[in-house]
C-alpha cells in the first residue's frame, strides 16, 4: 500500500507556517531535520517488540500536495495516515495506543520533542480521536495483562470512512463496522433514568469493535457481547491469536470473509443483544484473567481456569479443560489444571475463535440467564444468518433440558467436521452440569426437574454423579 519508502515527512525547505488563522500554536515551526532515529531508548516498546521498525513513513506519496505548503505542522499527512503508517510499520501490524504515540515521537520529527506529557496532550488526544473515529482502525483486545488494546488497520479497508452516526438504510461493511463501535455512544449523555435520548441511537446495545477477523462479520452480532460497562464480559472480545497474527501478512481477508455473517441482522437482534448484553454482566465466565489467583474465587464450573494461559491462551475456549463426558464433573482444581490435553487444532480454534467466542459466551449467558436471572421473555437466540458459522448458539450443548424456545440441530449436524468444537462443547456441557448441580441445585432455590424431559435416553441416566 502506501508504505512505500518515504522519508519521514519530508521537510520542505520552503516550509513556513503560512497563514493559518488557526488559533493553534505551532511550537515547532521548523522541525529539525533529524532523521527519524529509533530512539535507542524507548524501552517502553511493550513486549519487547520494541525493535520498532525504524521508519516507516510516508513521503512524497500519500496525499501529494500541490503547493509546497504542508497541511500540518508535520507534513501533509493526516493523523489517520500517520496512524496507519505506524501500525503498518509494526511487524505484527498492530500497536497499542502508547506504541502509536511512541512511533510518532520517534518517527515524525515534529513530534520528537513532544513526547512528554506536557506537550503531548493535544496531539495525543487527536490520535485517540482518530482511532475511535475512523472505521479504518479497529481495536482488538490485547491479551497481555494490563495492556491497552491493539489497534489495527481494518482489513476491510474501512477506509477513511467515518463512523456513521446512526443506522442507515444501507451501509457498506466498513460503515457497519464503524457503526458497531458507534452504538456505544448512546448512553452517554442525556440519560435521564427513564428517558432514552430521543432520536439518538441510544436504545441500541453497546457494541464492541471488531477483530481482524471480523472483517465482514456483522458487528451487530457478536460485537454486542461486550458489556456496556466494560465488565469482564468484554474479555470475550476477540483476541488476536498468534497464528492469526502470523498469517497477518497473508491476505486473510477472504478467509475471514468466508466465515462471516451475513449482513442482515433481524431487528430483533438488537433487542436480543440488549438482553444478552445485560446478562453478560452476570456471567462470571469468559474472563481470560491473567491473574490465576483470582480464579480461585470464581465458581468452579466456569471456565476461568489458570491453565488457559498456558498452551492456548489465545483461544477463547480452549481454556476449558477437556474433561470428557465420562467425567462430567471437574473434580478439583488440581484436576483441572492437570488435565491438559490440548485440542488438536488450536489453529482452527484460533481462527474462528471470535465467532465461537461469541457463541460460547452467549451460551453461558443463556444458561445463566434463563435459569437464574431474568428472561421473562426468554431471550431468543438471534437467528443465525445463512452463512454464519456457528453463531449457532450452541444451546444444544447443554445436555440438560433447559427450557428453550427453540430446538436446534445437533452439534454434529452443524459442525460435522469440527471435532474441536465438539470437544469444546462437551467440556462446556460438563461444566454446566457441574454448575447446575453445585451452584444451583445445592442452593435449593431452583426447582429443576430433568427426568420428565429425558425419557431415558440420557447418556448418563443414572445420574450417579449427582450430589446426593
The residues binding DNA (CB under 7 A) are: 19-24, 69, 71-73, 77-80, 96-98, 101, 117, 122-126, 128-133, 139, 142, 148-149, 151, 160, 162-163, 165, 181-185, 188-189, 200, 209, 227-231, 234
Q: Give me the least distance between CB of 147 and DNA, in Å please.
A: 8
Q: Give me the least distance between CB of 220 and DNA, in Å please.
A: 13
Q: Give me the least distance between CB of 257 and DNA, in Å please.
A: 23
Q: Give me the least distance between CB of 389 and DNA, in Å please.
A: 24
Q: Give me the least distance between CB of 342 and DNA, in Å please.
A: 29
For residues 365 and 432, the answer to whether their CB atoms sit within 8 Å is no
CB closer to DNA, 343 vs 357: 357
CB closer to DNA, 127 vs 423: 127
Q: Give me the least distance between CB of 162 and DNA, in Å please.
A: 5
CB closer to DNA, 27 vs 266: 27
CB closer to DNA, 112 vs 380: 112
d(CA 302, CA 304): 6
Handedness of CA 343, 208, 220, 360 (dihedral sign): positive
CB closer to DNA, 23 vs 464: 23
Hey, what's the cell of 194?
A: 427513564
CB closer to DNA, 230 vs 405: 230
CB closer to DNA, 237 vs 388: 237
Q: Give me the least distance between CB of 266 and DNA, in Å please.
A: 22
Residue with cell 503498518: 88
CB closer to DNA, 1 vs 19: 19
- How do beta strands 94-96 and 137-140 pair? unpaired
Length of the chain: 468
Closest by CA position to 36, among listed 9, 5, 62, 72: 9
User: Dihedral through CA 414, CA 417, CA 421, CA 425, nearest 10?
Assistant: 60
Q: Give me the least distance between CB of 398 and DNA, in Å please.
A: 28
CB closer to DNA, 21 vs 193: 21
For residues 179 and 219, the answer to whether their CB atoms sit within 8 Å is yes
Q: Give me the least distance between CB of 409 and DNA, in Å please.
A: 35
Closest by CA position to 264, among listed 178, 386, 355: 386
Amino acid at each position: 500500500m502506501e508504505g512505500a519508502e518515504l522519508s519521514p515527512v519530508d521537510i520542505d525547505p520552503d516550509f513556513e507556517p503560512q497563514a493559518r488563522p488557526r488559533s493553534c500554536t505551532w511550537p515547532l515551526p521548523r522541525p529539525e531535520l533529524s532523521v527519524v532515529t529509533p530512539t535507542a531508548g524507548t524501552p517502553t516498546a511493550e513486549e519487547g517488540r520494541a525493535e520498532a521498525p525504524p521508519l516507516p513513513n510516508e513521503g512524497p506519496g500519500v496525499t501529494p500536495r500541490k503547493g509546497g505548503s504542508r497541511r500540518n505542522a508535520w507534513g501533509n499527512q493526516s493523523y489517520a495516515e500517520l496512524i496507519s503508517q505506524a501500525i503498518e510499520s509494526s511487524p505484527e501490524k498492530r500497536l497499542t495506543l502508547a506504541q502509536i504515540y511512541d512511533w510518532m515521537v520517534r518517527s515524525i520529527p515534529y513530534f520528537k520533542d513532544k513526547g512528554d506529557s506536557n506537550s503531548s496532550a493535544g496531539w495525543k488526544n487527536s490520535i485517540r480521536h482518530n482511532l475511535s473515529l475512523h472505521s479504518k482502525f479497529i481495536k482488538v483486545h490485547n491479551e497481555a495483562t494490563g495492556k491497552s488494546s491493539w489497534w489495527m488497520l481494518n482489513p476491510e479497508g474501512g477506509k477513511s470512512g467515518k463512523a456513521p452516526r446512526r443506522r442507515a438504510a444501507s451501509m457498506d461493511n466498513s460503515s457497519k463496522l464503524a457503526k458497531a463501535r458507534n452504538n456505544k455512544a448512546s448512553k452517554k449523555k442525556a440519560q435521564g433514568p427513564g428517558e432514552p435520548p430521543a432520536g439518538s441511537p441510544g436504545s441500541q446495545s453497546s457494541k464492541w469493535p471488531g477483530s481482524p477477523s471480523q472483517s465482514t462479520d456483522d458487528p451487530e452480532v457478536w460485537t454486542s457481547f461486550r458489556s456496556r460497562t466494560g465488565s469482564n464480559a468484554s474479555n470475550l472480545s476477540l483476541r488476536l491469536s498468534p497464528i492469526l497474527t502470523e498469517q497477518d501478512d497473508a491476505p486473510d481477508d477472504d478467509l475471514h470473509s468466508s466465515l462471516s455473517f451475513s449482513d442482515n441482522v433481524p431487528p430483533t437482534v438488537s433487542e436480543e443483544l440488549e438482553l444478552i448484553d445485560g446478562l453478560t454482566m452476570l456471567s462470571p465466565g469468559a474472563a481470560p484473567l491473567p491473574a490465576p489467583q483470582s480464579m480461585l474465587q470464581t465458581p468452579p464450573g466456569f471456565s476461568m481456569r489458570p491453565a488457559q494461559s498456558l498452551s492456548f491462551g489465545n483461544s477463547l475456549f480452549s481454556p476449558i479443560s477437556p474433561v470428557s463426558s465420562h467425567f462430567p464433573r471437574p473434580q478439583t482444581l488440581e484436576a483441572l489444571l492437570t488435565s491438559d490435553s490440548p485440542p488438536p487444532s488450536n489453529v482452527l480454534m484460533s481462527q474462528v475463535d471470535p465467532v465461537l467466542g461469541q457463541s460460547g459466551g452467549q451460551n453461558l449467558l443463556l444458561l445463566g440467564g434463563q435459569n437464574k436471572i431474568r428472561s421473562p421473555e426468554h431471550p431468543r437466540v438471534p437467528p443465525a444468518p445463512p452463512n454464519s458459522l456457528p453463531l449457532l448458539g450452541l444451546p444444544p450443548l447443554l445436555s440438560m433440558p433447559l427450557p428453550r424456545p427453540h430446538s436446534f440441530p445437533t452439534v454434529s449436524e452443524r459442525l460435522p467436521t469440527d471435532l474441536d468444537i465438539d470437544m469444546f462443547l462437551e467440556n462446556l456441557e460438563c461444566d454446566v452440569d457441574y454448575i447446575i448441580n453445585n451452584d444451583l441445585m445445592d442452593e435449593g432455590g431452583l426447582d429443576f426437574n430433568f427426568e420428565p424431559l429425558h425419557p431415558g435416553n440420557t447418556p448418563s441416566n443414572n445420574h450417579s454423579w449427582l450430589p446426593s
